[in-house]
Structure 1
Amino acid sequence: MQIRKKQIMLESLQVNLDRTRNNLAEHEQQNDALHHQLNTCRIEIGNLKNRVEKLSQYQDIVDIEHYIAERKNQVESFVEVTKTEAEFLLEKMKAEIENTRHYLEKLEKNSQLKLEAQARERLGAFYNQVLEQENLEAISKALENKIQGYGIQDVYPVQTFLDQLIDGYGDIHAAQQLKEVRRKIKNAIAANTGGQCEYVEENRQLSAIALVTHVFNSKADLYLSQLDHDTVELFIQALQDDFILINHYGEAFGHTRIHESFLKLRLEEFKLTALILAFKAQQQTGPSELQQQRV
């Protein structure tokens, strides 16, 4: 029995010994692998040290790049701050300029009023006579022009004439502007805002404005129907004379007069029409000159 027990114990010890030997073999293999990895790492470390030694001479360049990048960020921040401050300063300067302009306009207006008041005070009744004299001279000149005439001859339906002119040359800028000016003129006539009157009664006031505006527009349409690119200055002067005379005679009817803004609209209509007519004449003469050159 004891021998049997010892055999069993011996077999168990042999099994344990075999297992231990196997474990030891595995550990030795792992140890060999670790030694191999360690040697590989040592080799890589050696290579990296060599590369570091080679690249160490360029460290100053790396430091300079970092310095430049840092300074660039600082400059960009400074530029942004300066730009913001400049925009603020610019807006402030614009406001100051606008305030100064208003102040100068007010000062100029007050100076003119002051000079007029001083002139009235010094000249007394002569001041009104001077103003009246200037008005009479303008009226006299306008009447003289009317007596001598402007060379008016043929008359054409002005609205049809302008409609055809705009339709024929609607692609040029002057025709588009003329169309807009005519729209403003029609609106002013429809709203009866081309003039003013001091009659208190509304019906008399509107009637007087309508009458004076009708007379003025009849004159303007008459000149416009005969307008060409060579006579625009002549008809502009004629309409300005009519403006002076109509406003002068309108004084007897509740101080009825044509607004200067309405005169400017009609004069602008003259100028734009003359531009289109000049363009039309240039187009018509161009082909004929080309044909002559070919002949």
Structure 2
Amino acid sequence: MDTPTVTALLILLAPLGIAALFWWKNKQSTEKISELQSEKEALLHLKKYEAIVDAESEARGIISQARKDAEQIVNDAAKRLNDAKLKAENREKEANVAHERIVKEARENLKKAKEKAEQTMQEAFTNADKIVKQAEENAREIAGEALEAKSKADTFEKKAKAMKNIIDGYGNEYLIANQTVLDDLAEEFSHKDAGVELKKSRYFTKTLVTKSRAALCDYAEVNRKETAIRFVLDAFNGKVDTALAKVKHDNYGKLEAEIKDAFALVNGNGRAFRNARISDEYLNARLDELKWAVAVNELKLQEREEQRQIKEAIREEEKARREMEKAIREAEKEEKMLQKAMEKARKELEKASEEEKLKFEEQLSALQSQLEEAEAKNQRAISMAQQTRRGHVYVISNIGSFGEDIHKIGLTRRLEPMDRVKELGDASVPFDFDVHAMIYSEDAPKLEKELHKVFESQQVNKVNYRKEFFRVNVSDIKNKIDEMDIEAHWTMKAEAKEYRETLAIENHSGSESSYEQPSVQQVMSA
């Protein structure tokens, strides 16, 4: 407990202590008086003790002295209480002074930091202006009027291209995978970190506006200049804000083109107002905003996809667990049934004749084999349940759905791995999968990861790596497994029974609407 707290407690408790002390002294005096009174009465009663000094007088003296002692105690306590109050007030004043000093220093430091940041930014702007101005002057000295003519030609060309894009729409040439943005960022970025960077970027664009660096104009008159600048800024920002509101998982390139086209159109139209124009610096700042907005969106999608994959893995693991528990129960039940059957057969054997003994011995032998098989099955199920990394890595294909040389490499921990393959071939694909290999492994996740790493460059979907389809020949996968010295049974040629029968029916009927192989886009979206 700190000193001020102790002092406060002493101040509060002092009056109570004084009152208690005074009560105790008074009680002693009263008791003494009562005792002396009794003695006096006894002495008066016994005439032979009349010579003893008057006890009442002595009692008064004791009371008087007790009162003096009590008054002294009260005075001392009051003095100590007053001293404690003064000390507490002095410490409170000192604390307030220290607090005010700390707050004042913090405010001064914050003010200095802001001023320094402002100065640094202004110096950066000034240096940038000098570099640009010097470059423009050098270009004019070298190229002269040709530079201005080229600038006008570039402006008109960009404006024409922008108008063409707006009229015709943005085709595949503007498709850029959002993953490209993430490739430029550090891998440790989460969508929250990207959100912080987006806020910084938006703050910077606002700073450019407040510092009058977002747009320029050649009007000399202040009112006209400000009006023209507001006009081009409103037009450009309206287009950019609309684009940023449309950010999705697949339109980064299109939105980037829209912003650049808006820049070209606004600057082209601004020539009529003494060359009112958006600065390149502001364009780059808003494109930076787009980049971070796309990054936030893409990272959110990735996080959502990871959560979906985790939930799917949990569901798959739960299915495997239930399947193994069921297998253990069935195996235990089968063991008990076989043991009862064997016990019955042994009893029958004891009673059987020589001719019947051979029959019961054969029956016992068959039951023994079945029991051993059931025990082995039970142990396998128990072992699979205990070892969470044991499982099967499968290599499957679906020619009718995805075409030739497209293989899925995945894993399952199911006791019956074909159940997983059947699930994959449900109503979401037109034909069943063919199994080329079902490879048992003590560490199935590690084996699957190694194979994915080997064939990473041949993955069909290069945006979502959780789609486990690879454009690779089955013999290449087999060779890699052989290199790892892993034994596995392989079926090199896909049966594709339903697909081939479908083709035969179409060829026989001469149907015009024959089945077509899926496109690359269809395979990538699978």
So what's the TM-score if we normalise by structure 2? Answer: 0.29
Higher strand share: 2
* Bigger RCO (CA 8 Å, 6+ sep): 1
**Higher CA-based Rg:** 1
